[in-house]
């Protein structure tokens, strides 16, 4: 399979998994939607499990790099936090938004350690990226706690945006994150 066809299968699977979940979407559906032959599909992916892992890894790499790029030139912590929530908010407003693919993987594969670990690894990377940004301005312990809070705000805004079909939750979550940062400026939490 050429790289472009393989990528097309990954993109198709990502869209289908995001919209409908992992379990309802079968290999036949992915093959039909992507327009590749069954033999071509199995030449590059041993099965659905391999495809799920590839989708999650690709999505993790893409999102992590996208956020790093957005944060790179922000001169203050407030601007970095706003950029994080704007990044998430743009996703909420996109036509492809259907909730968190990684959260879905954790809930649909609770006993499948490989898939679950890839999803959790993404969440850890995102947390660590946020923590590293905060640590430039706060003590390490404070940065870790604030990063936990921001992750909860991001996840909560995502669930609310998916549940209610409204994107304003990201602004509310960003306001809460900025209040937490201002309240804890120069203080150590816990």
Write the pLDDT tens digit of every residue in 133-177: 999 999 999 999 999 999 999 999 999 999 999 889 999 999 999
User: Of residues 132 and 2, which shows the higher confidence score?
Assistant: 132
12, part of any domain: no
- Would you say residue 170 lies in a domain? yes
pTM, full prediction: 0.91
CATH number at residue 138: 1.10.357.10
Q: At what angle do helices 113-135 and 101-108 cross, to 10 degrees?
A: 140
pLDDT at site 1 = 47
Mean pLDDT over the full length of the chain: 93
CB 16 within 8 A of CB 8: no
CB 52 within 8 A of CB 17: yes
Domain that holds residue 115: 55-183
In the chain, how many domains are there?
Answer: 1
Asked whether residue 158 is domain-assigned, the answer is yes
């Amino acid at each position: 399979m050429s790289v472009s066809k393989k990528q097309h299968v990954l993109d198709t699977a990502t869209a289908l998994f995001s919209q409908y979940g992992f379990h309802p979407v079968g290999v036949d559906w992915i093959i039909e939607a992507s327009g590749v032959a069954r033999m071509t599909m199995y030449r590059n992916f041993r099965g659905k499990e391999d495809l799920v892992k590839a989708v999650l890894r690709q999505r993790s790499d893409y999102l992590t790099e996208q956020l790093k790029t957005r944060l790179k030139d922000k001169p203050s912590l407030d601007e970095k936090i706003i950029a994080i929530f704007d990044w998430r908010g743009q996703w909420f407003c996109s036509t492809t938004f259907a909730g968190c693919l990684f959260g879905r993987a954790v809930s649909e594969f609770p006993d499948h350690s490989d898939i679950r670990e890839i999803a959790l690894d993404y969440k850890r990377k995102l947390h660590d990226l946020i923590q590293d940004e905060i640590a430039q301005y706060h003590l390490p312990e404070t940065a870790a706690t604030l990063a936990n809070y921001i992750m909860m705000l991001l996840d909560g805004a995502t669930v609310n945006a998916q549940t209610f079909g409204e994107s304003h939750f990201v602004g509310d979550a960003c306001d809460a994150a900025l209040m937490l940062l201002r309240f804890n400026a120069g203080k150590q939490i816990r």
